[in-house]
Structure 1
Amino acid sequence: MISASPHPVIAISSLKPGMFVVAIISQRGDMEIAQTGRVNDERQIAALVTRGVLRVRVDLSRSKLAKASPPCTAEQPDSSSLSMTAPQGLRVPGEGRELKIRRLYQEARELQGKFIRQLKAGEPIDITSLATVAEEMVDTMFSHGDAMLCLARIRAKDAYLMEHSMNVAILLANFGRYLGLERSVLKELTLGGLLHDVGKIMTPDAVLNKPGKLTDEEFAIMREHVVHSHDILKATTGITPTMLEVAANHHERLDGSGYPRHLKGEQLSLYTRMSAIVDVYDAVTADRVYKQGMQPTQAFRILLKGAVTHFDEGLVTRFIKCMGVYPVGTLVLLSNQRLALVMQRNELAPLKPLVKVIYHATQRHYLEVHLLDLAKASVNETIESTVDPKDYGITLAHFI
């Protein structure tokens, strides 16, 4: 029986051709959805059953039950159809939890996209499902924060708006947890992060995606997205003052040089100051169509340079401590010339995180993937520097 919810969870036996799958909720196997999409035929359902899938979440508004799409072929691919793949990289104990975290991330992305589509279409807006996911993200940050931060390193140049908002949400949850904020506040900050840039749907694509420096007139248009975000969210049921503050004030600066209201000093609350730091950190580390993203350590320098004038100096210091000397998802060069991905921080020994070794830097070839705890007494390797994965043609998403 399918519930009245727009995104019900159903048993695999109830899945029908034409239904749009948002996420796998439970399973016995280790299959993942590479991209959400519509189930085209019974063969795809059979494949899900074979791979141990038990329950899935579907989007009824995007399902086409009356007229299912024809089977997808190699000659005529369906870009909206469900795609399945086995996870890449290392299989480690507790990976079932990691799969659940991936699905949570995927579900949040899908609900984000639905919210934006509804806004563009002028349809009624309901943030209930997104609020539920935000609460789950906060809970997951407490139990598996490093895994969540790893996912925030997966980026695609053509999906910046949603990925930036997802990452701001994750980073706010992580930062707020580090600062000891109440979980109820963390949920509001997380949902505020997910929605903070929604006003960009009103920004012309020619300005939003311009491959170069904006003119003064174009920058004035770009700045308006904050006002649009405020207006959209203020008119949305369920939005709290904290969520509204994240959206409306994340471009304000301590010295009053920010926008849109040129707030300064004590006019900037803790949440505004946190949002400003997190927003800039993620923005400068992101690859865009027209620019290459910085490494986390470079982003820290940008924040430190702007401390006192633009950002709260004490909060910048605490944010860097929160993220760690080598943030999760950073590619590092080890003393034995191996490249490794930082998977888990070590608060007691920040220079010795848990890493995943993947590549030989001098011989230029991939290695058998394995985990290495740099804090163990038996391990002699140390980190020499951070590395840009693009310098070696490495796609981090394959190993996270």
Structure 2
Amino acid sequence: MLTRKSLIVNQLFRADLKLKKISTSQVRLGMYIQSLEGNWFSHPFWKAKFVLYDQADLEALQSSKVSAVWIDCSKGIDVTEIVENLGQERKQALSYTEKLLQKPTHASTTVAEELHRASQILNHSKHAVMQLFNDARLGKAIDIGQCLPTVEAITTSVARNSSALIGLARLKTKDEYTYMHSVSVCALMVALSKQLGLDEEQTREAGIAGLLHDIGKIVIPRVVLNKPGKLTDDEFSTMRAHPELGHAMLLKSEMIPQCALDVCLHHHEKVDGTGYPHRLQGQQISVFARMAAICDVYDAITSNRPYKEAWDAASSLARMAKWTGHFDKEIFNAFVKTVGIYPLGSLVRLNSGNLGVVIGKNPDRLSKPIVRVFFSLQSNTSIFPQVIDLSQPSTTDRIVSREDPAKWGFKNLESLWC
């Protein structure tokens, strides 16, 4: 049990950081939890650092095995009795980003409502992954605590509206592909987990696995990783080593879920046994690795990369469906439901003779998404944009085909939906 004296000493000793160690029984709503004593799996939270908003979370913490926590008094309320003793008063001071990432807002939102928030989360996540990968490149062990806040932020955005963050994540540049690919696969793994009905812990581990699946690429020479042309046989062999290299790196770290180790090693296996590194087939490949194989490929082919331009999302799904022996069929069907037959940003032709871009999906009517019509094929000219929900009974328009934006010379379709 922490005494009043020890609490004051803790506060004065770490005054420059404004951190204070207190017993779990003294935790109150509005405090900013900087860290919890013990390992990650001894407490009920995904987050590394967060503001305690919810009474249920407070009760869960106080009934857990965590005996003490560190709080940051500059970002949340102080321990009342200590504040009074020192003759000070602090006010809760939360930055916009902290509210964005930490406040547990799970209510469903539209794509438009979630886009700005998702953009901020992606930017924050990119920098977190860059730091994580750079630390690993320097030989430091992967800290699972660095992963969890990113996974939590992505998960809450996906819970509100999966299309927004997943759609925006496709719009990465070639230079940031290595980092943003990990963020995108994390989001896709979380969304697919929810579609498959996995529980909270499994979803969390799937997100961590997605975030770390390509960690081995940090030791692949950049001249190979970013080569704009076709790889030589030797370069291809070097590239194919990244699953085993990543797996060896993760084995040196503490508290990495077994799921993440398996996905890192086996996300390039194929159900017909022609994948690598172990040529596993069918049920020999774990469910999580089969999920990751789909998420990894989808994000790769729909992103701009040093050696190829992105394929549009809708036709990418159609192509993947034809790759016999590559993916688990049931999981792939669930993935299609996750991103939609016509993913966010897809260009479609309507029977009215207009072109539109998909700006939202209807989960129960995947063939009838929400589109923004902007171009008339009859007059071959742009028209004033109009939003149409194709699932509405009053709507007679329907999609007759997917269209390739490059064919029509549309280079900035994202301006119509994000």
TM-score scaled by length of structure 2: 0.69
- Structure 1 residues 124 and 316, CA gap change in structure 2 (3 angstroms): closer
Give the superposition deviation at 1:2: 5.7
Give the superposition deviation at 1:124: 5.8
Q: Which residue of 1 aligns with 2:27?
A: none
8 A Cα contact 1:169 1:194, kept in partner: yes
* Corresponding letter in the other structure for 1:344: G
> Which of 379, 382, 398 does residue 395 from structure 2 map onto?
379
> Which of 55, 66, 86 does residue 95 from structure 2 map onto?
55
Identity %: 32
- Structure 1 residues 57 and 352, CA gap change in structure 2 (3 angstroms): closer
CA-to-aligned-CA distance 1:68-112 (integer Å, 9 cap, x gap): xxxxxxxxxxxxxxxxxxxxxxxx988554322222222111101
Taking the aligned partners of 2:383 and 2:211, their CA distance within structure 1 comes to 37
8 A Cα contact 1:389 1:395, kept in partner: no
Q: Which residue of 1 aligns with 2:214?
A: 197
Q: Which residue of 1 aligns with 2:187?
A: 170
Taking the aligned partners of 1:3 and 1:217, their CA distance within structure 2 comes to 53
CA-to-aligned-CA distance 1:364-396 (integer Å, 9 cap, x gap): 665554432122233333223223334423324
Asked if 1:105 corresponds to 2:145, the answer is no
> Which of 123, 142, 145 does residue 159 from structure 2 map onto?
142
Q: Which residue of 1 aligns with 2:366?
A: 350
Asked if 1:248 corresponds to 2:265, the answer is yes
Give the superposition deviation at 1:257: 1.6
**Residue segments in structure 2 that go unaligned for 5+ positions in a row:** 1-15, 21-31, 33-50, 52-92, 99-108
CA-to-aligned-CA distance 1:331-376 (integer Å, 9 cap, x gap): 2233345433222212332221112334556766655544321222
CA-to-aligned-CA distance 1:146-176 (integer Å, 9 cap, x gap): 2222223322122211222222111111111
Taking the aligned partners of 2:301 and 2:367, their CA distance within structure 1 comes to 23
8 A Cα contact 2:345 2:414, kept in partner: no
8 A Cα contact 1:285 1:293, kept in partner: yes
8 A Cα contact 1:149 1:329, kept in partner: no
> SS of the counterpart of 2:206?
helix
Asked if 1:222 corresponds to 2:225, the answer is no
TM-score scaled by length of structure 1: 0.71
Taking the aligned partners of 1:225 and 1:196, their CA distance within structure 2 comes to 10
Give the superposition deviation at 1:320: 2.3
- Structure 1 residues 378 and 301, CA gap change in structure 2 (3 angstroms): closer
Taking the aligned partners of 1:294 and 1:96, their CA distance within structure 2 comes to 27
* Corresponding letter in the other structure for 1:212: G
Taking the aligned partners of 1:330 and 1:267, their CA distance within structure 2 comes to 35
1:66-85 to structure 2, matched below 5 A, reads: none
Q: Which residue of 1 aligns with 2:291?
A: 274
8 A Cα contact 2:290 2:327, kept in partner: yes
Q: Which residue of 2 aligns with 1:119?
A: 136
> Which of 287, 306, 310 does residue 289 from structure 1 map onto?
306
CA-to-aligned-CA distance 1:188-226 (integer Å, 9 cap, x gap): 111211121111111112211222222221111001111
Taking the aligned partners of 2:112 and 2:299, their CA distance within structure 1 comes to 27
**Residue segments in structure 1 that go unaligned for 5+ positions in a row:** 10-24, 26-52, 59-91
Give the superposition deviation at 1:178: 0.7
* Corresponding letter in the other structure for 2:315: Q
Give the superposition deviation at 1:241: 0.4
Q: Which residue of 1 aligns with 2:173?
A: 156
8 A Cα contact 1:356 1:370, kept in partner: yes
Taking the aligned partners of 1:133 and 1:3, their CA distance within structure 2 comes to 24
Give the superposition deviation at 1:118: 1.7
After the TM superposition, which of the residue ranges 94-103 and 139-148 deviates more from structure 2? 94-103
Task: Indicate the structure (1 or 2) with the bigger Cα radius of gyration.
Answer: 2
> Which of 320, 339, 343 does residue 327 from structure 1 map onto?
343
Give the superposition deviation at 1:136: 2.8
8 A Cα contact 2:114 2:160, kept in partner: no
Asked if 1:318 corresponds to 2:358, the answer is no
Asked if 1:182 corresponds to 2:199, the answer is yes
Q: Which residue of 2 aligns with 1:231?
A: 248
Asked if 1:261 corresponds to 2:278, the answer is yes
For these two proteins, the number of residue pairs brought into alignment is 323
Taking the aligned partners of 1:2 and 1:371, their CA distance within structure 2 comes to 50
> SS of the counterpart of 1:342?
strand
> SS of the counterpart of 1:306?
coil
8 A Cα contact 1:155 1:163, kept in partner: yes
Q: Which residue of 1 aligns with 2:12?
A: none
8 A Cα contact 1:346 1:354, kept in partner: yes
- Structure 1 residues 283 and 98, CA gap change in structure 2 (3 angstroms): closer
8 A Cα contact 2:170 2:302, kept in partner: no
1:3-82 to structure 2, matched below 5 A, reads: 55-56=95-96
Taking the aligned partners of 2:180 and 2:383, their CA distance within structure 1 comes to 30
* Corresponding letter in the other structure for 1:149: I
